[in-house]
Amino acid sequence: MASVFQRELAAIARQQVHLSQGGLSTSELAGWLKTLSLDQLAAFADGRLATTPECSFVLPDVMLDNTEEFIAREQPDRKTSAMPAPAEIEYTRDTPLEPPRELLELTRMLAGLSTSASVGDAVVGGSFGQASYRLSLLALIGETNIGPELAPLADLPLTLQWGDDMQAVGRGEVARISAGRILPQQNNDESPAA
């Protein structure tokens, strides 16, 4: 990058920029400034250089790269920190997790379903959290790409039909629930309850 920068500076110096209509060029101006003494140059600059111009030609990422290279070259003995070695750990076997009780109860209840049932009757019971969990499980019925613990529920020959309104429940911390029916495959011609 330093050689590229030097080439660009040389290219700028070769350019002749005309500063006025009279034909004054930057080269002529530079030559005239070289004839002046330091006191004369300081007098020209007095009060005119109150702010330091920002060097936009100096790129911060290039400066950072050059600084890192300089530090690595000039201070080879500097200490570097390293991560400690990993601690020895004891691997344990994965213990199988028991499926939630609500999943097992819902699967058993729906497996024995011979006639249509309302969604509210199937999922409401216990607390609001348990009813919410059972309601979310109903979306898995008929899914094919599913984990082994949910496969018994997903494989049940059931169909869900949802209505547009809400069904009043008033028990198990649930006031109302989306109206819908769970139908065994042979009874899926029934219409959802209003």
| Residue 153: half-sphere exposure toward Cβ, Cα within 13 Å | 23
Given a cut of 70, is residue 189 above it in pLDDT? Answer: no
Q: 90-129, pLDDT tens digit by residue?
A: 777 766 677 888 888 888 988 888 888 888 888 888 889 8
Confidence of residue 57 (pLDDT cuts 50, 70, 90): low
User: How confident is the model at residue 193, as a pLDDT?
Assistant: 45
Share of the chain above pLDDT 90, in %: 0
Angle at which helices 128-138 and 101-111 cross, to 10°: 50
Q: Which two tokens stand for residue 127?
A: 């607390």
Report yes or no on whether pTM surpasses 0.85. Answer: no
